[in-house]
């Protein structure tokens, strides 16, 4: 199995790579984990991880300017129905549009938009940063051996507002209930960082490898 982490200049690549390698080792899987910047290697992969740090527009600008990247990703995900895992802004890019930093269209794989978290309580600050527990809304194998009291590490000011609740795999509470994970067919993403979420994050990665 070849698991490729797409390096498009935006993401905590080294930490993600080490976490995925650790998860594969835990499972005893002979998985080859590689960081790729050559989009031609997408088609040779079995699974893709799309990380993302920074603003939606910054990440989208960079990804959409990579020659052939969008076509290759669409073929991999939409046509071939291979598995992809988006992390933080990488997950947000699955949406139709994100408003951060002036706005940019997304990949359009999961209907919805990425909007700024609406904070009214003066005790709460943006970015939403730190450990929050999640509420699992989709009893999927990706959450195997995890429960609603498990905490994950978040750092973001914008959140994925999905058009359909069926695509919200998990939520968390920050002012209001906000999306913590999305899912649609072979597409999965988390707003939290599994690579920074210790044992719980590794378990999510293990479940992705087994998916």
Count other Cβ atoms within 10 Å, centred on residue 108.
14
Q: What is the pLDDT of residue 138?
A: 85
Q: What is the pLDDT of residue 123?
A: 86
Four-way CATH pick for 2-210: 3.40.50.300, 3.10.129.10, 3.30.750.24, 3.40.50.880? 3.40.50.880
Q: What is the pLDDT of residue 160?
A: 98
Q: Are the C-beta atoms of residues 113 and 77 closer than 8 Å to each other?
A: no
pLDDT tens figures, 113-139: 999 999 988 888 999 999 999 999 988
Q: What is the pLDDT of residue 59?
A: 95
Q: Are the C-beta atoms of residues 128 and 155 closer than 8 Å to each other?
A: yes
| Active-site position among 104, 128, 156, 193 | 193
Active site includes 159?
A: no
Name the phi and psi angles at 125, rounded to 5. -125, 160
Active site includes 111?
A: no
| Active-site position among 59, 72, 88, 156 | 88
């Amino acid at each position: 199995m070849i698991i490729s982490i797409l390096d498009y200049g935006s993401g905590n690549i080294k930490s993600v790579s080490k976490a995925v390698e650790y998860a594969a080792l835990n499972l005893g899987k002979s998985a080859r984990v590689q960081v790729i910047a050559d989009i031609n290697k997408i088609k040779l992969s079995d699974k893709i991880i799309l990380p993302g740090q920074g603003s939606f527009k910054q990440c989208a600008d960079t990804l959409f300017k990579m020659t052939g990247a969008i076509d290759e990703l669409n073929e991999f995900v939409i046509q071939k129905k291979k598995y992809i895992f988006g992390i933080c802004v990488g997950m947000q890019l699955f949406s139709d549009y994100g408003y951060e930093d002036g706005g940019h269209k997304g990949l359009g794989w999961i209907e919805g938009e990425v909007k700024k978290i609406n904070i009214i309580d003066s005790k709460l600050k943006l970015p939403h940063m730190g450990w929050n527990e999640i509420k699992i809304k989709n009893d999927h194998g990706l959450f195997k051996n995890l429960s609603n009291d498990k905490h994950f590490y978040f750092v973001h000011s914008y959140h994925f507002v999905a058009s359909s609740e069926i695509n919200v795999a998990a939520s968390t509470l920050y002012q209001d209930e906000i999306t913590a994970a999305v899912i649609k067919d072979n597409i999965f993403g988390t707003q939290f960082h599994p690579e920074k979420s210790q044992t719980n994050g590794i378990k999510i990665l293990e479940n992705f490898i087994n998916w």
